[in-house]
Chain A
Amino acid sequence: MTTDLASLGQRLVRFGEKLGADEVEVYIEESKSRGVTLVGKVEAFGSSHFTGLGIRVVNGRRIGLSSTTSLNIREAEEAVRRAHSIAKVSEPIGDWVSFAKNTGKMSVEGVFDPALQKLPPETMSEAALEMVRMVREQSTGLSITRGGVLTGIRTVTIVNSHNQALERRESYASASISVTTGDGDAKGVSSESDVTRSWRDLDAVGVCHRASQRAVNAGKARPIPSGTIPVIWRNKLFAGVLSIMFGGTLSAEAVQRRRSPWADKIGSKIATDNLTLIDEGLMAGGIGTREFDDEGVAQRRVPLIEEGVLMGCFYDTLTADKDRVESTGNASRGYDSAPRPAPNNLSLTPGTASFDETVKETKNGLYLEELIGVWLSNPISGYLSATVANAMLIEKGELTRPVKGVLVSGNFFEILRGGVDLIGRDVDHAGNSYSPTVRVASMSVTTQ
């Protein structure tokens, strides 16, 4: 069956070839999203319908890129012409072979929820109202500074000169909330969110519950004295750290251009035996799970670190051709940008400890729940630091009191080489990065 978008794509490929292009690639995305936003109470309702068309044209290994949000044939053909004229004057890419020839689909589970397509407006409205009620029930002093529920359906169509059109459909649902309580020194703030591929899996109530409790705690939180102590990272936070530290540096592009600290380390032991990191491109219901990547190459499982040994990096077609290997199905792009290698579902393999056991095994330490500024950490030097917005002190194996206003820091590379001494079995995710709870044997805590 050929859909409208697939036939538009094929028509544009032929149009570009007629202009004299060696190769043409057409990327079309169409997304429909609906949302309710909260400020105090329910504030706004939105729906959007977005289309984007990206054209890449190759002429004698010279490449041109153009894009438009219009799928109108006149504007679309103009975009092909524009890409072709850019390709004519561009500089040749030395390593260019061709657009992906080995395109195809893998079967994946849990990425499209038909219920999201037909979700009645009242259902979303109800969910948002339930979030408002939930926060009120937790504590009377809490107010919602922002939040909301968002759902979306997205279709991506890819055609190039070597292949028939491929199409994939994905769905998303998310709930997020930021709450505040108290004033001055007793002010407590917290944010929480959940992103899933199906409406059924979305835990809007849990999001409100966790944010509310943490905000109330944060209102009573105090700093702790500076020192070096064991730190337990909440699964979701550590997932974020993995994404900052490996999301860019294990891309074949960064490795080839020697912008990565791992450039000379493939095949070496960079971490302790308990650490295994896989890019799980086919994880059921994964946020980054897709039948094929943004060049039409089937996604797969890509081992990055196995029992502490750096196994390799992730590739798109251009970087794979440069190293004469196969693309790992990690091409990622927006309609208006060129593809580049990016992780699909970066996943740290879980261990066996339950969360309670992890806490119980920690005599004195800190359990980190929410941080500020962790993105300022440096994946090149490994310097990891953040301000603690929300943590719990652990004394004699028990969570005792809330902590905020201290800085945690350490070197991530050293943490990999011997700092992780306990790995939980409870996995959660931040975007498309997955991690269990992790205990780092010692990190520096500084009172500001």
Chain B
Amino acid sequence: MLFPMKSSAETDMAGLAKGLMEYAQKLGADYAALLYQEEDSGSITVENGELKVFEAGMFLGLGVRVLVEGALGLASSTTFNPRILRESVEYAVKMAKASKGSIETVALAEAKPLRVSAESPWKKSPNDFSDEEKLKLVLETNKAASLEGIVSSTTRMGWLTEKRIFESSEGARVETVLHMTGLAHYAVAGFEGHMEAVSDSKSQCSGFEFITGTDWPEFSRKTAEVALEAVKARAPASGNYRVVADPDLVGLIFHEAMGHASEGDLEAAKESVLEGRLGEKVASPFVTIVDQGVVEGGYYFPYDDEGVEKGRQVVIEEGFLRGYIHSRSSAHKLKASSTGNARSQGFGDKPLVRQTNYFIEAGDSSLEELLEDIDYGLYLCGRGARGGEVDVGQGTFTFNAGPSYVIRKGKLAEMVRGVSIGGMVLETLKQVSAVGKEVTIETSIFGACGKEGQRARVGHGGPHVRIERMAVGGRA
């Protein structure tokens, strides 16, 4: 049984869908598709022992996409008013016709119209727990982390259920239901006039059983302890290091610096450093990278927003670039097939090529083996990382890692903070000299990846990875 949703809009949508698609085609559209979205969510934020916000939200709407003589028209509304929706479709078609001859033609690669439904596994609904129980859990989690030396702590719990229905004039109908829950903690520690902040979160595509089955006070306390240790730590000296990156940071670096560069719409626009390099050796032979829609611990994405099955694609195989990730339109431009990576943030947004769970596949080394022959290096961690920025065209990246550790004679030694790393991604990929044998993938209900103003949740992570040379900024 699919999860029971609260609104009556889905019934309205069923009545509207066929009529709107037929109307669009009557006006001259060659293709029409609808995306219905309904999201029921809630969150509780507690700051320094006080409830800051307890909120519940319902988000729903309908988007229509049409192709008219190669132009893409998008119309959307939160009201299920047939008049407003018809007017929007008329507007999109009118605009497309007015620009005839000056259009960057959009066409879709062939894809089999699917009629399927899928739902992420869940056992307990968030609605089975009272507001009091939820609030109590967040207050206790926050309190557990108010250790001596912590100047500020914020805890946030979130939950959501999202339904999407995609229908197209080609006959596709794909319905997906996603459940997600998670908790984030942010700790600021103070010491001798310095402050250091560390945040961490855990989420899962599941029901509320993930919340009830996790020891959150233990989690928040650990986060606070890292902040307390970090505030007393020093920054490493700037320079080039041999490093081992943990799964969290590996996920962040490769999602940003490599993942975006493998998005087919950026190849088509000649914006990516990987453009035109199919078949070339772009990484060391230890590196195999895949994008996979459903993976343990990751974001649940069985079908994309064009109704295509996501599956699993190999992007880099033992160092060789094998393929890009595609939507139907980017695939058409590059004479490839869609890989099910078309994603719209919301019902009204243009589908972009986005990653799902993009990660390096397991190698065969244990963490001890990765560390053992490093005489002096750094163990770089993702927890508390402040993010970074990449230039996909030049292939350069800069990140702030979270509190990390010095590696001395093959063993983890003291903590360091204020670690920034940077480089050229294709150079860094060639410096990978060993890969860990355990892959850890996580997702987040709180964070999302941004592209062209649209946000999308993803899974990230991977194995531990050893990199022979990494530029590290710290102390001058």
Residues of A bordering B, CB below 8 Å: 34, 36-52, 63-72, 74-75, 78-79, 82-83, 85-86, 88-91, 93-94, 121-122, 124-125, 128-129, 132, 143, 145-146, 180, 187, 189, 257-259, 336-338, 372-373, 375-376, 380, 387, 448
Min CB distance A281 to B, Å, is 25
Q: Are B51 and A43 in contact (CB under 8 A)?
A: no
Q: Which of B80-101 contact A (CB under 8 A)?
A: 84, 88, 91-92, 94-96, 98-99
Most chain A beta-carbon contacts within 10 A, residue among B9, B73, B98, B195? B98
Q: Are A70 and B56 in contact (CB under 8 A)?
A: no
What are the residues of chain B within 8 A of A82 when measuring CB–CB? 56
Q: How far apart sit A49 and B78, CA to CA, in the bound complex (Å)?
A: 7
Q: Are B400 and A70 in contact (CB under 8 A)?
A: no
Q: In the complex, which range does the number of interface residues on chain B fall in?
A: 35 or more
Q: Judge whether B391 is part of the interface by a CB distance below 8 angstroms.
A: yes
Which residue from chain A places its CB closest to the CB of B47 in the assembled complex?
A: A257
The answer to whether A70 and B92 touch (CB under 8 A), given A47-B75, A125-B99, A143-B270, is no
Q: How far apart sit A39 and B386, CA to CA, in the bound complex (Å)?
A: 31
The answer to whether A49 and B269 touch (CB under 8 A), given A37-B350, A65-B55, A373-B389, is no
Q: How far apart sit A427 and B74, CA to CA, in the bound complex (Å)?
A: 36
Which of these binds chain A: B58-66, B110-118, B215-223, B298-306?
A: B58-66
Min CB distance B33 to A, Å, is 14
What are the residues of chain A within 8 A of B56 when measuring CB–CB? 65-67, 79, 82-83, 86
Contact of B7 among A70, A124, A132, A338 (CB under 8 A): A70
What are the residues of chain B within 8 A of A74 when measuring CB–CB? 8
The answer to whether A43 and B91 touch (CB under 8 A), given A67-B57, A67-B58, A146-B452, is no
Q: Are B386 and A376 in contact (CB under 8 A)?
A: yes
Q: Are B195 and A43 in contact (CB under 8 A)?
A: no
Contact of A67 among B55, B77, B84, B104 (CB under 8 A): B55
Q: How far apart sit A306 and B456, CA to CA, in the bound complex (Å)?
A: 42
Q: Judge whether B131 is part of the interface by a CB distance below 8 angstroms.
A: yes
Q: How far apart sit A321 and B295, CA to CA, in the bound complex (Å)?
A: 49
Min CB distance A77 to B, Å, is 12
Top-6 shortest CB links A-B: A45-B95, A46-B74, A44-B72, A91-B51, A68-B58, A41-B104
Contact of B79 among A71, A94, A259, A448 (CB under 8 A): A71
- Report how many A-B pairs have Cβ atoms within 8 Å: 187
Which residue from chain B places its CB closest to the CB of A133 in the assembled complex?
A: B102
The answer to whether A47 and B99 touch (CB under 8 A), given A89-B132, A257-B47, A338-B55, is no
What are the residues of chain B within 8 A of A146 when measuring CB–CB? 269, 452
Q: Are B350 and A50 in contact (CB under 8 A)?
A: no
The answer to whether A43 and B72 touch (CB under 8 A), given A36-B95, A65-B53, A66-B55, is yes
Min CB distance A390 to B, Å, is 13
Q: Are A257 and B103 in contact (CB under 8 A)?
A: no
Min CB distance A55 to B, Å, is 10
Q: DSSP class of A's interface residues: helix, strand, loop or mixed? A: mixed
The answer to whether A376 and B389 touch (CB under 8 A), given A46-B350, A65-B54, is yes
Q: Are A387 and B398 in contact (CB under 8 A)?
A: yes
Which residue from chain B places its CB closest to the CB of A67 in the assembled complex?
A: B57
| 23 A–B pairs (Cβ distance < 8 Å), ordered by A | A36-B95, A47-B88, A49-B77, A49-B84, A51-B79, A52-B78, A64-B55, A69-B61, A70-B7, A70-B9, A70-B58, A71-B78, A75-B58, A79-B58, A86-B54, A86-B131, A143-B270, A180-B393, A189-B391, A258-B151, A337-B55, A372-B389, A448-B422
Q: How far apart sit A41 and B106, CA to CA, in the bound complex (Å)?
A: 11
What are the residues of chain A within 8 A of B270 when measuring CB–CB? 143, 180
What are the residues of chain A within 8 A of B48 when measuring CB–CB? 257
Min CB distance B333 to A, Å, is 10
Q: Are B57 and A336 in contact (CB under 8 A)?
A: yes
Q: A69-B61, A121-B98 are in contact. List 12 more A-B contacts (CB 8 A).
A: A43-B103, A45-B91, A46-B73, A67-B57, A74-B8, A82-B56, A83-B56, A125-B99, A145-B269, A146-B269, A336-B57, A375-B389
The answer to whether A48 and B75 touch (CB under 8 A), given A42-B99, A66-B57, A376-B389, is yes
Q: Are B61 and A336 in contact (CB under 8 A)?
A: no
Q: Are B79 and A44 in contact (CB under 8 A)?
A: no
The answer to whether A45 and B71 touch (CB under 8 A), given A51-B79, A372-B389, is yes
What are the residues of chain A within 8 A of B350 when measuring CB–CB? 37, 44, 46
The answer to whether A42 and B71 touch (CB under 8 A), given A69-B60, A372-B391, is yes
Which residue from chain B places its CB closest to the CB of A52 in the assembled complex?
A: B78
Q: How far apart sit A380 and B91, CA to CA, in the bound complex (Å)?
A: 48
B235-246 near A? 1/0 per residue, CB < 8 Å = 000000000000
Q: Are B95 and A125 in contact (CB under 8 A)?
A: yes
Q: How far apart sit A376 and B270, CA to CA, in the bound complex (Å)?
A: 27
Q: Are A70 and B78 in contact (CB under 8 A)?
A: yes
Min CB distance A14 to B, Å, is 21
Q: Which of B1-39 contact A (CB under 8 A)?
A: 6-9
Q: Are B195 and A380 in contact (CB under 8 A)?
A: yes
What are the residues of chain A within 8 A of B72 when measuring CB–CB? 43-45
Contact of B57 among A47, A68, A89, A94 (CB under 8 A): A68
Min CB distance B356 to A, Å, is 22
Q: Which of B131-183 contact A (CB under 8 A)?
A: 131-132, 135, 139, 151-152
Which residue from chain A places its CB closest to the CB of B53 in the assembled complex?
A: A338
What are the residues of chain B within 8 A of A122 when measuring CB–CB? 98
Q: Are A49 and B106 in contact (CB under 8 A)?
A: no
The answer to whether A129 and B102 touch (CB under 8 A), given A46-B73, A90-B135, is yes
Q: Are B75 and A64 in contact (CB under 8 A)?
A: no
Contact of A376 among B103, B348, B387, B391 (CB under 8 A): B387
Contact of A64 among B7, B50, B54, B98 (CB under 8 A): B54
